[in-house]
């Protein structure tokens, strides 16, 4: 009943991610952003010129490492399988909208935990928002929400996304001059390449073996009273808390927190929107990256949606800044809720169930 | 034909579908066809947590789980 071995490894994964996030911050990554998946995908979007927000452009080797580490682990253990064809465009849109929610809050759930562990009380306010969004997603899933089945694809399709990451790494290492890199702001702050890459590889491999996720812990607790993934989330928080206390990065309060704002309502709503979107696509951005590395091309498309969402968020002033959530960002969150709830209702409920839910066996 | 086919589905749908079958049946035998390691492990954890025995056979690159109680 209590799988000690399984829970031990997922806890270790969380502890490792938390500790590495603090180590990467000490080694140069921005404060409370040691290993933020949303921030780093946003920085990659900037480095590729998808947006022109000069302070947030850098090809983050952590993301590349994470994908390649998970890819290697999946290949080595025989769990790699190319899959796809489950509502890719809808997943793209949900990744896009969820990313706008993240950038109104200023961080993904990983950064939310890092901020919480550093005493940023704004993030403590975002947590109930995130949980509420996940609970709304669970409500849809329990009413039959589904994006449909993926089908097995030729393995080549699954190699595309890891190859894209490897190509990005090659461009970075070779110093490709057209890649943009911030000279000031968060994008200019980064740990040494090999340390960032190594941390990503380790986290990717561990997360692949344990199915580590930061939407899953709350979702599974609500749906199944299953605490397996919660051990990973708790481990991440505790290791980061210990690390922050050790390196003197703990300071409790709302005002003056690094790369954060004090707009409580929009911190709550931004994470609620993201929680809903990423519950509907079945996993946080980190899990999407790992899943894409395991051959799930739908997850890869979700990540492309996240990248384009980041680009729109910065091109159209939707992303928040330390001054607060922008008016455009507030409209975008409201529009995001309308679209996501529309998708949720359209793909669930009595009508879908009556038609013979695609997920039921014949 | 397996009782529940969760191929091509990602969490939490496989677990939800198996849980509904388990709850409806109470005891007996259920066969589940899964095609991912994640679904296999999550279903195994659900079933053993509810006191069902789980046997797993690999078929091609899919997994046939037999749950009994």
What single string gives the DSSP state of each residue in A197-225?
HHHHHHHHHHHHHHT--SSHHHHHHHHH-
Nearest to A14 by CA among A221, A186, A243: A243
All residues of chain A having their beta carbon less than 8 Å from the beta carbon of residue B41 are 6, 211
What is the model's pTM? 0.96
A147, closest residue in chain B (CA to CA): B9
Burial A55-88 (b: 16+ CB within 10 A, else e): bbbbbbbbbbbbbbbbbbbbbeeebbbbbbebbb
Tokens of A218: 């709350």
Catalytic, B7? Answer no
On whether the CB atoms of residues A214 and A129 are closer than 8 A, the answer is no
On whether the CB atoms of residues A315 and A51 are closer than 8 A, the answer is yes
Looking at residue A58, what is its pLDDT?
97
Walk across the sheet containing B53-59 and list its strands.
B4-5, B29-34, B62-68, B53-59
A217, closest residue in chain B (CA to CA): B12
Residue A351 has pLDDT above 70, yes or no: no
Residue A306 has pLDDT above 70, yes or no: yes
* Beta-carbon contacts of residue A182 (< 8 Å; ≥ 6 apart): A43, A46, A54, A55, A56, A57, A58, A188
Alpha-helical regions (H) of A143-213: 155-173, 193-210
For the residues of A16-31, what is the DSSP string, one character each?
HHHHHHHHHHHTTSPT
**Residue with token string 């309060």:** A253
Residue range A99-107: mean pLDDT, rounded? 98
Nearest to A359 by CA among B42, B41, B48, B17: B17
Looking at residue A355, what is its pLDDT?
52
SS3 A183: coil
All residues of chain A having their beta carbon less than 8 Å from the beta carbon of residue B38 are 211
Nearest-Cα distance to chain A for B52, in Å, is 10
CB half-sphere exposure, A34, CA atoms < 13 A: 30
Residue A358 has pLDDT above 80, yes or no: no
Whether A77 and chain B come into contact, CB under 8 Å, resolves to yes
The shortest CB-CB distance from A150 to any of B1, B8, B11 is to B8
To which CATH superfamily is domain B4-68 assigned? Answer: TusA-like domain (3.30.110.40)
Nearest-Cα distance to chain A for B31, in Å, is 11
For A124, counting Cβ atoms within 10 Å of its Cβ (0-12 exposed, 13-18 middle, 19+ buried), the class is middle
Residue A89 has pLDDT above 60, yes or no: yes
On whether the CB atoms of residues A126 and A271 are closer than 8 A, the answer is yes
Per-residue model confidence as pLDDT tens digits over A120-156: 999 999 999 999 999 999 999 999 999 999 999 999 9
Rounded distance, CA A125 to CA A265, Å? 9
Sign of CA dihedral B36, A301, A33, A335: negative
* Residue A154 main-chain phi, psi, to 5 deg: -60, 135
ipTM, interface predicted TM-score of the complex:
0.94
Of A349 and A157, which is predicted with more confidence?
Answer: A157
Looking at residue A349, what is its pLDDT?
74
On whether the CB atoms of residues A257 and A242 are closer than 8 A, the answer is no
Q: Among B7, B9, B11, B54, which one carries the catalytic annotation? A: B11
Q: What are the DSSP E strand ranges found in chain A?
A: 83-84, 151-152
Residue A307 has pLDDT above 50, yes or no: yes
Whether B41 and chain A come into contact, CB under 8 Å, resolves to yes
Nearest to A36 by CA among A173, A186, A169, A208: A186
What's chain A's average pLDDT?
Answer: 95
All residues of chain A having their beta carbon less than 8 Å from the beta carbon of residue B63 are none
CB pair distance less than 8 Å for B6 and A1:
no
Query: What angle is formed at CA A249 by the lines to CA A186 and CA A268, rounded to 5 degrees?
Result: 65
Looking at residue A285, what is its pLDDT?
98
Residue A63 has pLDDT above 50, yes or no: yes
Radius of gyration from C-alpha coordinates of chain A: 19
Nearest-Cα distance to chain B for A145, in Å, is 9
Between positions 112 and 141 of A, the ones with CB within 8 A of B are 141
Looking at residue A2, what is its pLDDT?
43
The shortest CB-CB distance from B9 to any of A6, A149, A219 is to A149
All residues of chain B having their beta carbon less than 8 Å from the beta carbon of residue A149 are 7-9
SS3 A57: coil
Nearest-Cα distance to chain B for A75, in Å, is 12
Residue range A234-262: mean pLDDT, rounded? 98
Looking at residue A347, what is its pLDDT?
95
Residue A353 has pLDDT above 60, yes or no: no
Whether A155 and chain B come into contact, CB under 8 Å, resolves to no
Looking at residue B60, what is its pLDDT?
84
Looking at residue A240, what is its pLDDT?
98
A3, closest residue in chain B (CA to CA): B45
CB pair distance less than 8 Å for B10 and A282:
yes
Whether A229 and chain B come into contact, CB under 8 Å, resolves to no
Of A349 and A146, which is predicted with more confidence?
Answer: A146
């Amino acid at each position: 009943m209590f799988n000690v071995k399984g829970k031990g490894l997922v806890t270790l994964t969380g502890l490792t991610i938390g500790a590495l996030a603090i180590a990467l911050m000490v080694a140069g990554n921005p404060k409370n952003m040691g290993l933020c998946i949303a921030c780093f995908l946003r920085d990659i979007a900037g480095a590729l010129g998808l947006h022109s927000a000069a302070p947030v452009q850098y090809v983050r080797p952590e993301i590349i490492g994470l994908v390649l580490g998970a890819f290697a682990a999946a290949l080595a253990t025989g769990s790699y399988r190319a899959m796809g064809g489950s509502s890719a465009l809808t997943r793209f849109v949900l990744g896009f909208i969820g990313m706008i929610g993240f950038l109104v809050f200023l961080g993904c759930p990983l950064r939310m935990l890092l901020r919480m562990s550093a005493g940023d009380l704004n993030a403590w306010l975002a947590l109930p928002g995130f949980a509420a969004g996940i609970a709304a997603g669970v409500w849809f899933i329990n009413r039959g929400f589904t994006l449909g089945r993926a089908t097995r694809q030729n393995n080549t399709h699954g190699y595309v996304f890891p190859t894209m990451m490897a190509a990005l790494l090659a461009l970075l290492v070779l110093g490709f001059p057209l890649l943009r890199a911030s000279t000031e702001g968060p994008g200019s702050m980064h740990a040494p390449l090999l340390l960032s890459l190594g941390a990503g590889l380790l986290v990717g491999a561990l997360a692949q073996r344990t199915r580590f996720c930061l939407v899953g812990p709350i979702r599974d607790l609500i749906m199944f009273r299953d605490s397996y993934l919660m051990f990973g989330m708790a481990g991440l928080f505790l290791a980061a808390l210990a690390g922050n206390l050790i390196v003197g990065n703990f300071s409790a309060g709302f005002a003056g927190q690094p790369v954060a704002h004090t707009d409580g309502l929009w911190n709550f709503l931004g994470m609620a929107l993201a929680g809903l979107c990423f519950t509907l696509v079945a996993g946080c951005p980190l899990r999407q990256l790992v899943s894409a590395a395991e051959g799930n091309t739908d997850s890869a498309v979700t990540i492309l949606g996240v990248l384009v969402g980041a680009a729109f968020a910065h091109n159209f002033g939707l992303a928040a800044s330390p001054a607060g959530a922008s008016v455009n960002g507030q409209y975008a969150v409201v529009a995001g809720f309308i679209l996501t709830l529309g998708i949720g209702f359209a793909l669930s409920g009595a009508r879908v169930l009556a038609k013979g839910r695609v997920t039921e066996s014949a | 034909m397996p009782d529940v086919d969760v191929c091509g589905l990602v969490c939490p749908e496989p677990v939800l579908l198996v849980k509904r079958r388990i709850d409806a049946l109470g005891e007996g035998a259920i066969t589940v066809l899964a095609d991912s390691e994640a679904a296999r492990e999550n279903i195994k954890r659900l079933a053993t947590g509810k006191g069902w025995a789980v046997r797993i056979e690999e078929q091609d690159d899919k997994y046939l789980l037999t749950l009994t109680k």
